[in-house]
Amino acid sequence: MTPTKVAPRDAGPHLQGPRQTIMITFKDVLRQLIRDLRSEKLRTFLTIFGIVWGTVAISLMLAFGTGLHKQLVKATAGLGDRIVIAWPGLTSIPFEGLGKGRRIRISEEDLEAARSQVQGMNAISGEYTKSLRIDYATKTLPVDVSGVNAEFGSMRNLVPAAGGRCIDPIDVTQQRRVVFLGDKLAKSVFGDAPAVGKTILVNQSPFLIVGVLQAKAQDSSYNGRDADMMWIPSSTFRALTGAKYVDNFVFQATVPGQTKRVLEELRTALGKRLRFDSKDKEALGTWNTTEQFDFFDVFMLSFNAFLGVVGLLTLIVGGIGVSNIMNVVVEERTREIGIKMALGAKQGWILSQFLLETMLVTLFGGAIGFAISIGVCAVFPEQLVEYVGKPVVSPVVATLTAIALGIVGLIAGYFPARDAAKLDPVVAMKV
């Protein structure tokens, strides 16, 4: 009587030719995984929950870190886009026979002469400041007014609201009587009515409003908050007030990384022209805002790295859970593994099967975690954005989280899979 060859129910083999061999397909792995998950519902839930929690932890922490970084940069950029603010003072070091305590005065001609000698300077603008009286209808109030050049607006991030513009080169050249208003100042004077196109009196002289500042975040200032200020062309300011020397000036390097070098060359150029020691910090005071941006970049990089490590540790805990459940699965399927290997399944196939099952569990939990993180970011209260920024699961955050998931899943599945692949078929079938 010829014995009948029957394929084991759990092995899922494909028999070929006179010799029994086994081919493991993705469909077989998926079917077996679903069966294992259904048989241990609580254990499966806890394992997937660990991966979900770890994914949410690492992705949300990085998302909030990225949002906070952007908010800090945005608030700092409200003062200006990596600019240097400088102001003349009193000399504190004797120079070429001149004693200390001498007042330094800088004119537009001095700035233009220095600009021509400094390489890598993108823009520079003198700034004249004074509190002037403005009148509109029945309203009269004192306002801090700055006389600036056309380049000032772009350096200081003075973005006009829709329908308006900032000071332009023609305004300066032709000494036009035009004004650019801060948004809060415009609201104080005109309420909700549009301000652009209307005329106000500045020290009894008529000025046309050409633009209103678009509301922006600003966490620091030097002459006052931009929202409460007003700007007119520097040439018009000098004609109106008789000012000859700038109160301060603002400049910007073409390459932010070269700001320090540009500042040193500018000090040297002005020092030679105005006869003061270029090392005299009192003669020319400066505020290099690029240092704040550099600090935020380094600080937030370290902060995000810390958050990432905390989230990764949480994800590793979830990975340990996955590894544990796969060890249990290997123990429960020892006989099945032995039968497969006896029928011709190679170690590499067994290893690949259990690795694939582990990666599928990790992928499933990671997908749920990503969905939760994106949902949390989507419903994050707008009222808190001003303080902590808008959390965003950016491509960088998603990529880093996916890489972490892949590594954790691979490591979590490798050791149980290796143990399964090393089983002795004879011993395994007797279990």
**DSSP for 359-377, written as a single string:** HHHHHHHHHHHHHHHHHHH
Euclidean distance between the first and the last CA atom of the chain, given in angstroms as a whole number: 29
What is the predicted pLDDT for the residue at 9?
Answer: 41
Instruction: Point out the least confidently predicted range of 6-10, 67-71, 360-364, 371-375.
Output: 6-10
CA distance 274 to 284: 11
Question: Is the pLDDT assigned to residue 261 strictly greater than 90?
Answer: yes
Contact yes or no for 86/246 (Cβ under 8 A): no
Enter the tokens of residue 155.
């350096």
Q: Closest Cα partner for 65 from 373, 407, 325?
A: 373
CA distance 364 to 48: 8
What is the predicted pLDDT for the residue at 428?
Answer: 55
Contact yes or no for 357/413 (Cβ under 8 A): yes
| CB atoms inside a 10 Å sphere around CB 53 | 18
Enter the tokens of residue 35.
């069966």
Query: 136 or 361, which is more confident?
Result: 136
What is the predicted pLDDT for the residue at 24?
Answer: 54
What is the predicted pLDDT for the residue at 405?
Answer: 76
Cα–Cα separations (whole angstroms), residue 234 to 49, 154, 177, 309, 372: 64, 15, 11, 52, 54
* Mean pLDDT of all residues in 240-264: 93
DSSP-derived 3-state class of residue 205: strand
* Mean pLDDT of all residues in 146-170: 94
What is the predicted pLDDT for the residue at 315?
Answer: 76
Q: What percent of the chain has pLDDT over 70?
A: 83
Question: Is the pLDDT assigned to residue 420 strictly greater than 80?
Answer: no
Rg (CA), the chain: 35
| Parallel, antiparallel or unpaired: strands 121-136 and 178-181 | unpaired
Helix residue ranges per DSSP H, 84-148: 108-117
The tens digit of pLDDT for each residue in 163-200 reads 999 999 999 999 999 999 999 999 999 998 999 999 99
Question: 0.85 cut: is pTM over it?
Answer: no
The tens digit of pLDDT for each residue in 285-314 reads 999 998 888 888 888 888 888 877 887 787
Quickly state the pLDDT bin for 345 (edges 50, 70, 90).
low
What is the predicted pLDDT for the residue at 425?
Answer: 63
CA distance 246 to 111: 10
Quickly state the pLDDT bin for 135 (edges 50, 70, 90).
very high
The tens digit of pLDDT for each residue in 203-247 reads 999 999 999 999 987 877 888 899 999 999 999 999 999 999 999
Query: How many residues can be counted in the chain?
Result: 431
Return the domain boundaries, the chain. 26-74+295-429, 84-288
**DSSP for 243-278, written as a single string:** --S-SEEEEEESSGGGHHHHHHHHHHHHHHHHT--T
Average per-residue pLDDT in the chain? 82
CA distance 322 to 63: 25
Instruction: Point out the least confidently predicted range of 127-136, 263-272, 278-287, 310-319.
Output: 310-319
Enter the tokens of residue 117.
């000698």
What is the predicted pLDDT for the residue at 16?
Answer: 42
What is the predicted pLDDT for the residue at 51?
Answer: 80
Quickly state the pLDDT bin for 431 (edges 50, 70, 90).
low
Instruction: Point out the least confidently predicted range of 102-111, 135-144, 250-259, 420-429.
Output: 420-429
Question: Is the pLDDT assigned to residue 416 strictly greater than 80?
Answer: no
Instruction: Point out the least confidently predicted range of 28-42, 115-129, 233-247, 306-320.
Output: 28-42
What is the predicted pLDDT for the residue at 403?
Answer: 80
The tens digit of pLDDT for each residue in 5-32 reads 444 444 444 434 444 444 556 566 667 6
Amino acid occupying residue 389: G
